[in-house]
Amino acid sequence: MNLQTIKNLGIKLTKHKIVILQLFDSYRHLDANQIHALLIGQGTNISLATIYRVLSNFEAKNIIIRHSFKEDQSTYELVRPNEHHDHLICIKCNLVIEFFDSKIEQLQEQIATKNKFKIVNHHLNLFGICEKCFSTDYISDVNVI
Ligand SMILES: [Zn+2]
Ligand SMILES: [Zn+2]
């Protein structure tokens, strides 16, 4: 969603809203602390409270979507109306991998039809251990032996 589209939604774009939106051009998934660290790193003076306020405003306007990838913190992603994907999330390093599988999508439709149910939206999040974390664990286990 570009800035003009967002303006067309009747959202007043403040300087802080613009810098937060721009981050989502480079990063697909971000939590409030990451946004804060990135903006402070860029020399933007912004409080966490402001970031949360902007994020909840964007969420209410359906500009971003909030995911529960981590137990203690929400992760946000831009809404891309014509693009659907699901996620694999590493519970050790929080790596997020996006995927799309038409067989899974079809299966969901079949399950819904079988239950006389119409799916309007879904997010499939698969939690596990990524290759890097898995091999690090494996190496340390081997060392113990
Ligand atoms: Zn899906
Ligand atoms: Zn994603």
- Span 116-141, average pLDDT: 86
Which is more confident, 8 or 100?
100
Per-residue pLDDT band for 145 (boundaries 50, 70, 90) equals very low
Per-residue pLDDT band for 13 (boundaries 50, 70, 90) equals confident
Is 84-145 in the same CATH topology as 1-81?
no
Distance 16 CA to ligand 1 centre (A): 32
pLDDT tens string 78-117: 998 889 999 999 999 999 999 999 999 999 999 999 999 9
β-sheet bridge partners, residue 77: 65
Is 60 exceeded by the pLDDT of residue 143?
A: no
How is the chain split into domains, by residue range?
A: 1-81, 84-145
Distance 84 CA to ligand 1 centre (A): 6
Alpha-carbon span 81 to 109, nearest angstrom: 19
Query: In the prediction, which pLDDT does 75 show?
Result: 97
Neighbours of ion ligand 2 (CB under 5 A): 77, 98
Distance 102 CA to ligand 2 centre (A): 16
CATH entry 3.60.15.10 includes domain 84-145: no
Distance 2 CA to ligand 2 centre (A): 18
- Span 26-49, average pLDDT: 96
Which is more confident, 138 or 11?
11
Query: Amino acid letter at 16?
Result: H
pLDDT tens string 62-78: 999 999 999 899 999 99
CATH class of 1-81: mainly alpha
Which is more confident, 5 or 137?
5
Distance 23 CA to ligand 1 centre (A): 25
Query: Amino acid letter at 53?
Result: R
Contact 64, 77 (CB under 8 A): yes
Residue 54: CB atoms within 10 A of its CB come to 22
Query: In the prediction, which pLDDT does 141 show?
Result: 56
